[in-house]
Structure 1
Amino acid sequence: MSSRRQINTIAGGNPSWNTGVDYAAQLRAADPALRRAVQALYATAGLDLRPDLDALAAAPQIAADPAAVERFAQGLVFDGDLKIPVLTVSNIGDQISTVAQQQFYGENVRRAGKNALLRQTYVESVGHCAFSPAEQQAALRAVVDRLPAAGRPPTRAR
């Protein structure tokens, strides 16, 4: 779940914020290798990092709704206790829903003893939910194929 609208709806308001965030300080506190990578990327692009950090500092900051933060913190636990078949489709280059996060979710499902209800797939591309129409159709077909016919469980695992 990564749609901002979906998150806000479930939490009953905005559960995230950047008030008080000093992005330049965050960069200074980052792992030195990561800091060097950011600097190298800017240099390669022929850009100056300082104006971007200044723009971030000058931009309006967003405050969270405290009640939404509390609801979000209490109500969203991906514990793996699945009740219905689930298919995850992830881009291997997704920075919002990473392969590591998907693998952790799969581990939770296995620990909950619900592995038969989960199938995880990966698409070799970058971006978040950047699936081609063919990939979307394949995912939909995989879900439909796994649905029980007339209330019977699927006859074979996929």
Structure 2
Amino acid sequence: MISAHRLGAVPLPLRQAWRRNKQAGFAPGKVCLWGNSRRLTFSAQLNDPRPWTRATHTRQLLCLYGDVLELFFGWVGCDEYYEFHFAPNGLVMALRWPNRSSYRGVSKDEDLAPFLVPPDPVSARVFSWSEGWGVEGVIHLESLSPEDRSRSPMVRK
């Protein structure tokens, strides 16, 4: 995260905003985000010295298979949002949800197909050290933004 600090990015604590209580075993970390209208760059450090995953490919709901960094974002005034999963073994999964209730009923890998986004808009690198693991990467927003959606199809069929 040294490069993030040099750019003026402020580390934000990671949390499980969708849960009332912290999940057992949740080892929070921090993330720095910075960018412009074309790209969102991030650097995350997670406080888990033994990260693990059973995931083997990007068409799996990575959060069901072990440790994962999840980033969520959307545009102001839009119902749709994006969810990115990064696993300790380097797998990346990107999802586009049309609205906040779209994820209901998605409980297994086969349910993901209509929401999967090709991994092209994301480049990431996973790293580890004795006290944890982390992910640094870039999300190319121009391929996701609502204005560009008519130019490039987003959802695999």
TM-score for both structures, normalised by structure 2: 0.28
Between Structure 1 and Structure 2, the one with more helix by share is: 1
Between Structure 1 and Structure 2, the one with more strand by share is: 2
Which has more radius of gyration? 1
